[in-house]
């Protein structure tokens, strides 16, 4: 490994962008495997959820109680009201049956009707975002500072094309404003979670773990 690359891996200023360059992956196709997460003490219920400016958001399904504090805090911070339906992190959507919906063997699957495990999900900030590519008004753009795909409110006409285009239906149209809402990577949900089901691993630590996992 070149000296430059070693410096990048251990540099305290390692950023999300540098990490993505190092791994050569888009955010949605993360190379953060369960074995890397296990280096931070996570069990098999943990999933890499998305990239925040300060690090990787990890969801630990074994700790989520479905209390919806993350959803409430998200809309309070970003919309000035409590309206879980438009939250950028979604827990209640998968409350009964998990992310794959009702299935024949639902009793063994996620959700209150199954194994009682919740499945909080949020925008994966795709490198090739279906939502932005489908938007007829070009109202979803990359924030120049964070790289997050964000909605430009003045341009959004509330048509819902982004929500239909997203494979996970993560954008939501606010029925009061008729504008799309989607994750802006603020991290408010993480701070609000009382059980630490949501946590952030810094990009510096992820880069180090990635480095050592290759040795």
Binding piece for ligand SF4, criterion CB under 6 A, among 8-16, 36-44, 102-110, 189-197: 189-197
Site for ligand SF4 in 55-84 (CB under 6 A): 64-70
Of the pair 124, 210, the CB lying nearest ligand SF4 is at: 124
Count of residues engaged in binding ligand SF4, rule: CB under 6 A = 28
Q: Give helix 16-23 / helix 3-10 axis angle, nearest 10°.
A: 140
121 binds ligand SF4 (CB under 6 A): no
| Pairs from 130-133 (Cβ < 8 Å, separation ≥ 24) | 130/165, 130/166, 130/167, 131/162, 131/163, 131/165, 131/166, 131/170, 131/171, 131/182, 132/162, 133/165
Looking at 32, 120, 173, 181, which residue binds ligand SF4 (CB under 6 A)? 120
Nearest approach, Cβ of 88 to ligand SF4 (angstroms)?
9
Q: Dig out the tokens for 195 from the structure.
A: 């059980």
- Report the DSSP beta bridge partners of residue 48: 58
Nearest approach, Cβ of 111 to ligand SF4 (angstroms)?
13
Which string of x and - marks every residue 132-161 that binds ligand SF4 (by CB under 6 A)? -----------------x------------
Q: Compute the Cα dihedral for 66, 67, 69, 74 and give only its sign.
A: positive
195 binds ligand SF4 (CB under 6 A): yes
SS3 49: strand
């Amino acid at each position: 490994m070149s000296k430059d690359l070693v410096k990048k891996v251990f540099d305290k200023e390692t950023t999300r962008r540098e990490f993505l360059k190092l791994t050569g992956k888009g955010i949605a196709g993360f190379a953060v495997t369960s074995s890397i997460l296990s280096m931070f003490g996570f069990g098999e219920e943990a999933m890499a959820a998305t990239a925040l400016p300060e690090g990787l958001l990890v969801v630990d399904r074994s700790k989520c109680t479905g209390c919806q504090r993350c959803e409430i805090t998200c809309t309070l911070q970003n919309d000035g009201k409590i309206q879980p339906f438009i939250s950028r992190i979604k827990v209640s959507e998968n409350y009964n049956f998990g992310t794959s919906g009702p299935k024949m063997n639902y009793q063994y699957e996620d959700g209150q009707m199954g194994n009682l495990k919740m499945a909080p999900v949020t925008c994966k900030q795709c490198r090739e975002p279906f939502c932005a590519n489908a938007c007829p008004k070009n109202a979803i753009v990359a924030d120049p500072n964070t790289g997050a795909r964000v909605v430009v409110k003045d341009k959004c006409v509330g048509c819902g094309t982004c929500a239909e285009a997203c494979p996970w239906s993560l954008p939501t149209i606010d029925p009061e404003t008729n504008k799309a809402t989607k994750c802006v990577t603020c991290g408010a949900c993480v701070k609000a979670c009382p059980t630490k089901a949501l946590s952030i691993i810094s990009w510096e630590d992820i880069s180090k773990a990635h480095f050592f996992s290759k040795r």
